[in-house]
């Protein structure tokens, strides 16, 4: 069988060799639904595909009106209206999407192409619909639409700025949060601007660009932006570079947050820090300078032959106190550097630094006398520590001396090994006014609550606690005589032991 | 007799240094209270001092810059830093200082350093 | 129904059908081309009859695929799926079409004709693509965001409607775990923040203020986050959903904590040093006083001892200034009208005391009751520091300082010039001298704290300070500190 070649007008005429069944087969096999109706809407043709999709046989439906048999109620009015106009020749062919209801009540969506056949008089005789089922396609479409809506509402509603810009700064996308952040009325006004216009420092965007082109992702880029009203805000940029198939960056997308408040806090914090460091540095420096003057003046006096020998000792004591001042300054500077320097703890004999502290305290109170009983002797106890051991005991003993209003101050210091030999327990017992229970915990952190105050030795004890923390030890205060704090305090230290 | 040039912005220190050095038979031939003044005076000093005692933090010109300029005028000059700022140590040596002492120092230590510097000659 | 009628109907249908119908032989030569095809492609049937469907109609990009399909069709394999093919019209436009195929066999069962029934879906496709693009645009912004983005609905059911992939990167937990359990967040919150989260959940309005929360990541480590949210209400004002963004701030938190710690430490050390050195100074001072009053102490050495005592007092002054400096920021700002006369006089007195070895000659044109400036109790401190500074750097025994005040022309502030005869300040130092904080370790000492304090006090008053030369152009003739303090309105 040869394919037809004689088509004078594109129609398949009566004389062609194509058999009628061929058309039926063509259309049916193509999976299209073909339905024919008379002008009353009665079904005149219902092909196999229609039977498959609806579950009705041709026999069942022939002669029945297609509405309401197959058309769902909510679409009926529209379909009827179009049908009437079609019959009246007032509607050319058109392609509606209409649902059919299957025999089992399922809804299937069909894309229809309707056309009509006229008699010799031009009157509509019969209407045909060729339909393709698009239920699945439509579902996918619907899902996509929903997803689009969801993402769009996310985009519109999230409380951070989202944007997409081209490398040369054209704004492709910008969400309402960002529009508001930059102080613009609406998106259209903003989108005409170039992204680089918002940077207070024009080179900042260049730096950011260089960074993102190299790193692909840039997080936490902090920069100043100028709002529409001229106000300057700090923002944090998080963005990534998006590349096309050729690997070229065609846009950046990311988010942007107003961090002005945080930045101000940070700057204030930093300024406060700088100020304290400055004061520390200045105080350390200038006081050392002054100490130099005092020290040399005292040395001149000490070395002068006119000075009676009994006063020479007292001048030397004073000189030792100047040295103690210099030591403290050196210690503070070292303490400040603790945060940077790794800890250098080593095994040390407790006795020398302890007794150095005792001597320093005695000199610090020339008008008082310390009666110390202790079992700490050279070579007896090793602890794991560093150069702050003297400082530690000085502060504890200084505190005991200071709090005790007597001229003769009794202090007992007892050391013994505990915790299977891992720790050394040191008790420093005084007979001063003691520490009431409510104060026992606070006493080591005075400076925080009461940094402006001058009460007690808060600062000294805070330093004590910091040094002990550094050594991995512990400190607490209890009553020398359990239950009666007025009988004096007992400072208990647990310090990690060193190797013997 | 050993001669010394004291550069420090602290007046009180000038007084005690002078008393001490006089007692020890060291001749304080010049004093300056800041770096610029020190350079100016040093340029005119003849003969040059055996030793310069140099502070670091001073108005107008710090000890390190001053040392550099004095070393340019006289590369043989011997400069001992006496500063309360330890951070300047490396810079001071780089600029040409011969010794670096941290304030406060005892006279004994200062004297010993001076004699070491002179012996080294 | 009689056959001729049916055939007639089909012919008419084919003729008028609003679908594309193309027939070809097994090798793809066109044998049938209906009117709809003519309309959409602008080719007439005569132009395409006998031509290869591949080269005349099908776009290059689809040609290989369609040829493959025709090969399968030619042996009778028909796919039930729609095939999408791009056609090129006579004018060169591209159409997107969807096709189904049917085959005509001869008696031996060989495929002799292939018929395609097609729909022009170009417009539909365009809409679909736009939708795709738009969806992708918004989706990528959410999916690619480095922050976790979520949508949590409270009504009708409490559940996560959306959780972005960044959440997994941040927490280590799969997004499915969030979808499966609306209370999953309770399970992964850091124990210390559980109560804050619970109170936030109880009153979601709390979500709108940015809040910091800690979480325990799947690997056990702690995640610090900052979260911001927006609440969505229905028409009746009921809260139905929360949109939120959660940012990983662990790194920042650590940096801030470190900074906070460093700052606390520095502040603590300043306090410590001030406190303990005061104690030591007290000890030294007492010892020196005892020496001075000892009948055995040689008279000739008294001057030296007094020098030492003056130095201890100087040390106390410095410590005091430092403490004041630390506190000046804390003191609440309460400006009142102050007559500068008394503060200046007390400052002169204090400066004289601070320099017992020198004679101070301070001249002033400020009369009692002449001016009222907006200031507070630090005004005297301000004058003292400038006078003290001038006396310190003037190495002569007689220190002359002239204080000259006059109202500015706009009457808004009082200008006070304090002129000394000291070594002066070279131009390059003039600006730096008040901002020691900014330039630590500049190698300058002493003047640092006093003048920085002066600047800080003036900032409180909304005033300013600058330095000029007492004798214009020659800084070595002494400095002129020019202060502006706001007058009463």
CA dihedral C143, C147, C153, C159 (to 10 degrees): 80
Question: What domain range is C18 assigned to?
Answer: 3-122
Residue C432 scores a pLDDT above 90: no
**Mean pLDDT across chain C:** 83
Measure A325 CA to nearest chain B CA, in Å.
Answer: 10
Contacts of C443 in chain B (CB under 8 A): 56-58, 61-65, 88
Alpha carbon distance A394, A411 (integer Å): 13
C305 and C227 co-located in one domain: no
Is residue C224 a contact partner of residue C214, using CB atoms and an 8 Å limit? Answer: yes
Winning range, highest mean pLDDT, from A94-98, A264-268, A342-346: A264-268
Kindly indicate the confidence band of residue C448, based on its pLDDT and cuts at 50, 70 and 90. Answer: low
Is the residue at C300 inside a domain? Answer: yes
Last residue of a domain, one of C248, C264, C287: C248
A315 touches chain B (CB under 8 A): no
Residues C372 and C339 in one domain: yes
Domain count, chain C: 4
Q: What's C243's domain CATH number?
A: 3.30.450.20
Residues whose CB falls within 8 Å of the CB of residue C186, separated by 6 or more in sequence, listed in order: C194, C197, C198, C201
Residues C25 and C106 in one domain: yes
A56 pLDDT tier (thresholds 50, 70, 90):
very high
Distance CA B93, CA B99 (A): 7
B13 and A288 within 8 Å at the Cβ level: the answer is no
pLDDT of residue A339: 54
Does residue A1 have a pLDDT over 50? no
- CA neighbor of C326 nearest in space, from A276, A245, A399, A261: A276
Tell whether B13 is covered by a domain: yes
Judgement on whether residues C22 and C162 belong to the same structural domain of the protein: no
Say what the pLDDT of residue A91 is. Answer: 65
* pLDDT (average), residues A450-455: 36
Q: How sure is the predictor about C215, in pLDDT bands with cuts at 50, 70 and 90?
A: very high
Q: Does A26 touch chain C (CB under 8 A)?
A: yes
In this structure, the answer to whether residues C182 and C272 fall within a common structural domain is no
| Separation of alpha carbons C402 and C379, rounded Å | 18
In-domain check, residue B58:
no
| Residues C464, C320 within the same domain | no
The secondary structure element, H or E, covering residue A97 is strand A97-101
Is there a domain that residue C136 lies in? no
Mean pLDDT of A344-367: 85
| For residues A164-181, average pLDDT | 91
Q: Predicted confidence band at C258 (pLDDT cuts at 50, 70, 90)?
A: confident
Q: What is the pLDDT of residue C3?
A: 42
**A13 pLDDT more than 70:** no
Residue C377, CB half-sphere, CA atoms under 13 Å: how many?
Answer: 5
Higher pLDDT, A463 or A255: A255
Range of the domain at B112: 3-53+63-119
Higher pLDDT, C356 or A449: C356
How far is CA A139 from its chain centroid?
38
A425 pLDDT higher than 60: yes
Q: Is residue B23 part of a domain?
A: yes
Record: contact A32-C287, CB cut-off 8 A: no
Do A64 and C149 touch, CB atoms closer than 8 A? no
| Same domain? C155 vs C231 | yes
Residue C99: pLDDT over 90: no
* Domain shared by C115 and C231, yes or no: no
Q: Which of A270-274, C99-103, C198-202 has the lowest mean pLDDT?
A: A270-274
Asked whether the predicted pLDDT for residue C437 surpasses 70, the reply is: no
Question: Searching chain B, which residue's CA lies closest to the CA of residue A305?
Answer: B23
Give the pLDDT band of residue A454 (cuts 50, 70, 90).
very low
* Distance (Å) from the alpha carbon of B74 to chain C's nearest alpha carbon: 23
Confidence grade of residue C178 (pLDDT, cut at 50, 70, 90): very high
Q: Is residue C64 within 8 Å of C85, Cβ to Cβ? A: no
Q: Do the domain assignments include residue B106?
A: yes
C324 membership: H or E segment, kind and range: helix C302-328
Is A322 an interface residue toward B (CB < 8 Å)?
yes
Asked which of C248, C282, C301 is the last residue of a domain, the reply is C248
Beta strands in C170-269 (DSSP E): 211-216, 222-233, 239-248
* DSSP bridge partners of A495: A424
Among A22-26, A141-145, B5-9, the least confident range = A22-26
Residue in C304, C392, C443 nearest the CB of B58: C443
Length of chain B measured in residues: 121
Last residue of a domain, one of C216, C248, C280: C248
**DSSP character for A388?**
T
Question: Do C468 and C342 share a structural domain?
Answer: yes
Is C455 within 8 Å of chain A by CB? no
CA dihedral C331, C336, C339, C341 (to 10 degrees): 0
- With cut-offs at 50, 70 and 90, classify the pLDDT of residue A8: very low
Instruction: Count up the domains in chain B and report the number.
Output: 1
How many whole angstroms separate alpha carbon B5 and alpha carbon B53? 6
pLDDT at C166 exceeding the cut of 60:
yes
Choose the most confident range, by mean pLDDT, from A249-253, C176-180, C421-425: C176-180
- C377-415 pLDDT per residue, tens: 889 889 988 998 888 888 888 999 999 999 988 888 999
Q: For residue range C267-312, what is the model confidence (pLDDT) as tens digits? A: 777 877 787 788 788 878 888 888 888 888 998 888 889 888 888 8
In A8-62, which residue ranges form alpha helices assigned H by DSSP?
20-29, 48-54, 58-61
CATH of the domain at B108: 3.40.50.2300
Q: How far apart are CA A33 and CA A31, in angstroms?
A: 7
E strand segments, A166-320: 171-174, 217-226, 232-243, 249-258
Say if CB B33 and CB C423 are below 8 A apart: yes
Asked if B42 and B73 touch (Cβ cutoff 8 Å), the reply is: yes
Picking from B12, B19, B61, the nearest residue to C311 by CB comes out as B12
Could you tell me which residues come within 8 angstroms of residue C141 by beta carbon, excluding any fewer than 6 positions away? Answer: A151, A155, A162, A164, A173, A175, A253
Report whether pLDDT(A413) > 90. Answer: yes
**Do the Cβ atoms of C446 and B64 come within 8 Å?**
no
**Do C288 and C362 fall within a single domain?**
no
Looking at the predicted structure, is the pLDDT value of residue A3 above 70?
no
C228 shares its domain with C357:
no
Is the pLDDT confidence value at A17 over 50? no
C240 and C186 share one domain:
yes
Q: Is residue B21 in a domain?
A: yes
Asked whether A314 and C291 are in contact (CB, 8 A), the reply is: yes
In this model, does residue A235 exceed pLDDT 50?
yes
pLDDT per 10-residue tile (average), chain B, 121 residues? 91 84 91 91 93 88 93 95 86 94 86 89 61
What pLDDT does residue A487 have? 93
Rg (CA), chain C: 46
Asked if residue C127 is part of any domain, the answer here is: no
Mean pLDDT of chain B: 90
**Is the residue at B20 inside a domain?**
yes
């Amino acid at each position: 069988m040869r394919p037809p070649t004689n088509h004078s007008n594109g129609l398949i005429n009566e004389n062609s060799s194509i058999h009628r069944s061929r058309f039926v087969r063509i259309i049916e096999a193509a999976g299209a639904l073909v339905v024919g109706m008379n002008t009353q809407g009665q079904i005149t043709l219902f092909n196999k595909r229609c039977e498959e999709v609806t579950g009705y046989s041709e026999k069942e439906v022939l002669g029945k009106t297609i509405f309401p048999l197959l058309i769902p109620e909510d679409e009926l009015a529209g379909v009827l209206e179009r049908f009437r106009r079609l019959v009246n020749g007032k509607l050319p062919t058109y392609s509606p999407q209409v649902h059919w209801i299957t025999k089992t009540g399922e809804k299937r969506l069909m894309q229809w192409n309707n056309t009509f056949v006229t008699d010799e008089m031009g009157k509509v005789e019969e209407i045909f619909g060729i339909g393709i089922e698009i239920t699945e396609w439509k579902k996918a479409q619907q899902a996509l639409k929903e997803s689009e809506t969801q993402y769009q509402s996310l985009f519109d509603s999230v409380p951070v700025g989202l944007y997409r810009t081209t490398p040369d700064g054209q704004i492709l996308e910008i969400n309402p949060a960002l529009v508001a952040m930059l102080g613009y009325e609406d998106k259209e006004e903003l989108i005409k601007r170039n992204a680089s216009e918002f940077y207070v420092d024009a080179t900042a965007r260049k730096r950011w660009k260089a960074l993102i082109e190299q790193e692909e992702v840039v997080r936490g880029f902090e920069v100043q932006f100028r709002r529409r009203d001229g106000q300057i805000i700090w923002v944090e940029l998080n963005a990534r570079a998006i590349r096309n198939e050729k690997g070229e960056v065609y846009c950046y997308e990311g988010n942007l947050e107003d961090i002005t408040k945080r930045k101000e806090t940070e700057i204030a914090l930093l300024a406060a820090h700088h100020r304290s460091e400055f004061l520390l540095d200045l105080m350390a420096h200038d006081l050392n300078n002054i100490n130099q003057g005092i020290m040399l003046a005292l040395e001149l006096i000490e070395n002068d032959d006119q000075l009676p020998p009994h006063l020479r000792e007292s001048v030397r004591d004073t000189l030792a106190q100047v040295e103690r001042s210099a030591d403290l300054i050196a210690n503070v500077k070292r303490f400040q550097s603790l945060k940077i320097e790794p800890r250098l703890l080593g095994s040390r004999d407790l006795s020398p630094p302890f007794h150095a502290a005792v001597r320093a305290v005695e000199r610090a109170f020339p008008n008082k006398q310390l009666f110390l009983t202790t079992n700490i002797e050279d070579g007896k106890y090793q602890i794991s520590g560093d150069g702050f051991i003297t400082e530690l005991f000085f502060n504890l003993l200084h505190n005991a001396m200071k709090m005790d209003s007597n001229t003769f101050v009794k202090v007992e210091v007892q050391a013994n090994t505990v915790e299977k030999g891992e720790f050394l327990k040191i008790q420093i017992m005084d007979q001063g006014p003691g520490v009431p229970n409510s104060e026992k915990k606070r006493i080591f952190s005075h400076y925080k609550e009461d940094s402006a105050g001058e009460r007690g030795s808060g600062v000294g004890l805070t330093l004590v606690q910091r040094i002990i923390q550094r050594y991995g030890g512990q400190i607490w205060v209890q009553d020398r005589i359990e239950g009666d704090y007025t009988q004096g305090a007992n400072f208990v230290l647990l310090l990690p032991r060193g190797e013997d | 007799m050993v001669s010394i040039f004291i550069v420090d912005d602290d007046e009180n220190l000038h007084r005690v240094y002078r008393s001490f050095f006089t007692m020890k038979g060291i001749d304080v031939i010049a004093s300056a209270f800041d770096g610029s003044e020190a350079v100016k005076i040093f340029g005119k000093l003849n003969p040059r001092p055996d030793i310069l005692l140099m502070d670091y933090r001073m108005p107008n010109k710090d000890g390190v810059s001053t040392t550099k300029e004095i070393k340019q005028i006289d590369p043989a000059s011997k400069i001992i830093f006496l500063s309360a700022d330890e951070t300047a140590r490396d810079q001071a040596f780089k600029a040409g200082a011969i010794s670096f002492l941290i304030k406060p120092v005892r006279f004994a230590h200062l004297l010993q350093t001076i004699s070491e510097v002179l012996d080294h000659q | 129904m009689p056959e001729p009628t049916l055939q007639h109907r089909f012919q008419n249908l084919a003729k008028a059908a609003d679908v594309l119908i193309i027939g070809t032989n097994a090798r793809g030569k066109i044998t049938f081309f209906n009117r709809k095809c003519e309309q959409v492609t602008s080719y007439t049937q005569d132009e395409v009859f006998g031509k290869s469907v591949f080269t005349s109609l099908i776009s290059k990009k689809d040609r290989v695929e369609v040829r493959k399909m025709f090969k399968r069709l030619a042996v009778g394999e028909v796919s039930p799926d729609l095939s999408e093919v791009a056609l090129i019209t006579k004018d060169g436009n591209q159409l997107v079409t969807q096709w189904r195929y049917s085959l005509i066999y001869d008696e031996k069962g060989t495929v002799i004709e292939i018929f395609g029934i097609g729909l022009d879906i170009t417009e539909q496709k365009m809409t679909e693509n736009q939708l795709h693009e738009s969806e992708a645009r918004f989706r990528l912004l959410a999916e690619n965001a480095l922050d976790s983005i979520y949508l949590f609905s409270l009504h009708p059911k409490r559940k996560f409607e959306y959780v972005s992939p960044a959440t997994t990167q941040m927490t280590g937990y799969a997004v499915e775990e969030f979808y499966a359990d609306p209370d999953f967040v309770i399970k992964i919150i850091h124990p210390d923040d559980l109560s804050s989260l619970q109170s936030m959940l109880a009153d979601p309005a709390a979500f709108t203020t940015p809040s910091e929360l800690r979480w325990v990541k799947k690997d056990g480590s702690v995640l610090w986050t900052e979260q911001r949210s927006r609440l969505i209400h229905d028409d009746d004002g009921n809260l139905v959903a929360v949109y939120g963004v959660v940012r990983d701030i662990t790194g920042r938190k650590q940096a801030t904590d470190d900074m906070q710690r460093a700052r606390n430490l520095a502040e603590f050390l300043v306090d410590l040093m001030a406190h303990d050195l005061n104690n030591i100074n007290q000890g030294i001072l007492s010892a020196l006083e005892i020496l001075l009053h000892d009948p055995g102490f040689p008279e000739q050495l008294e001057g030296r001892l007094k020098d030492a005592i003056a130095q201890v007092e100087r040390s106390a002054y410095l410590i005091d200034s430092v403490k004041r400096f630390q506190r000046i920021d804390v003191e609440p700002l309460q400006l009142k009208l102050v007559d500068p006369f008394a503060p200046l006089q007390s400052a002169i007195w204090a400066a004289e005391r601070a320099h017992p070895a020198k004679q101070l000659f301070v001249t002033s044109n400020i009369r009692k009751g002449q001016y009222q400036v907006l200031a507070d109790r630090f005004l005297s401190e301000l004058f003292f520091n400038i006078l003290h500074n001038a006396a310190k750097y003037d190495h002569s025994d007689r220190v002359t300082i002239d204080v000259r005040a006059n109202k500015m022309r706009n009457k808004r502030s009082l200008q006070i010039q304090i002129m000394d005869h000291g070594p002066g300040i070279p131009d390059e130092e003039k600006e730096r001298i008040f901002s020691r904080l900014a330039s630590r370790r500049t190698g300058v000492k002493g003047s640092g704290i006093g003048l920085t304090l002066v600047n800080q006090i003036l900032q409180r008053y909304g005033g300013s300070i600058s330095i000029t030369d007492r004798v214009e152009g020659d800084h070595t003739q002494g400095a002129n500190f020019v202060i502006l303090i706001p007058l009463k309105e």
